[in-house]
Amino acid sequence: MRELLVRVSREVILPRYRNLEASEIADKGKNELVTIADREAEAMLTEGVERLEPGLAVVGEEACEGDPSLYDGLSQRCWIIDPIDGTGNFAGGNPPFGILIALADGGVTQAGWIYDPLQDRFCHTRLGGGAFIDSERVTVRTTGETPPVAGISTLFMQDGRREKVQEHIAPHYTLVDIPRCAAEQYPRLALGVNDVSLFERTLPWDHAAGVLWLNEAGGLAARPDGSPYRVDEWQRPGLIGAASPALWHELAARMEKLA
């Protein structure tokens, strides 16, 4: 998998970084961009994962944009692909961005891979097998700061909920800018950069790999009611990620009061 991600990055993604024509960037709506690199990378990644385990459904972000029936594959054993996570950053010529791949079965993520082409950072995990960056096993660490450091995404929240979060949740944390890139946000939670994150939109290609990787590292990512994240429940809003179970429960308790 690492070989595939590096090859796609070097042949398709990095040559177009800060080298895109205006005609190679399109607006999908809802604050979403897509570039020619997204589409070319997804095609190459799809071909690559099909060779790794043939016959599985492939649920790719850009393919689903054109054919929503592909979401049905999430209830089966399937590959999940985000060819460039953080496309808005990439299209603007800014870091961070990355590739996210997950293998799921029956709605449950079995393995995940997160690759940052600029840092050559390869995060990977398997269910029950721990979390790794390259060959080094990762154990979460908090920032150690008081109040805890939070990256809270309110972009896809409805206005009323956004205002409640800003009024009742934000004052209890040191807020930092979100990277608008799950391939960067999940490593931040494990590596002592952020303590907690709050996500509203929970699309499978954004979260399948990162949730499993963080949980396997000893952190906790789950729905605000404590139920596990499932890739086939992608229309369900709300997800909390934290560098420790204690930090997760603290934020979940605060979120419960907003209901």
**159 pLDDT more than 80:** no
| Domains 2-137 and 149-256 in one fold | no
Q: What is the pTM of this model?
A: 0.96
Contacts 24+ apart (CB under 8 A), 62-67: 62/34, 62/38, 65/28, 65/34
Question: How do the domains of the chain map onto residue ranges?
Answer: 2-137, 149-256
Q: Are 78 and 56 in contact (CB under 8 A)?
A: yes
Q: Are 153 and 36 in contact (CB under 8 A)?
A: no
The pLDDT value recorded for residue 90 is 98
Q: To 10 degrees, what angle do helices 204-216 and 182-190 make?
A: 10
Q: Domain 2-137 adopts which CATH fold?
A: Fructose-1,6-Bisphosphatase; Chain A, domain 1 (3.30.540)
Tokens, residue 90: 């990439």
pLDDT mean over 40-60: 97
pLDDT tens string 174-188: 999 999 999 999 999
- Mean of pLDDT over the chain: 95
SS3 sequence of 181-237: CHHHHHHHHHECCCCEEEECCCCHHHHHHHHHHHHHCCCEEECCCCCCCCHHHCCCC
The pLDDT value recorded for residue 89 is 97
- Give the chain's largest Cα–Cα span: 50
The pLDDT value recorded for residue 31 is 73
**193 pLDDT more than 90:** yes
The pLDDT value recorded for residue 215 is 98
Q: Which CATH number fits domain 149-256: 3.40.50.280, 3.40.190.80, 3.40.50.2300, 3.40.50.261?
A: 3.40.190.80
Is residue 32 very low, low, confident or very high in pLDDT (cuts 50, 70, 90)? Answer: confident
Residue 100's alpha-carbon distances to 46, 79, 207, in angstroms, are 12, 11, 9
pLDDT tens string 98-139: 999 999 999 999 999 999 999 999 999 999 999 999 999 999
Q: Are 117 and 144 in contact (CB under 8 A)?
A: no
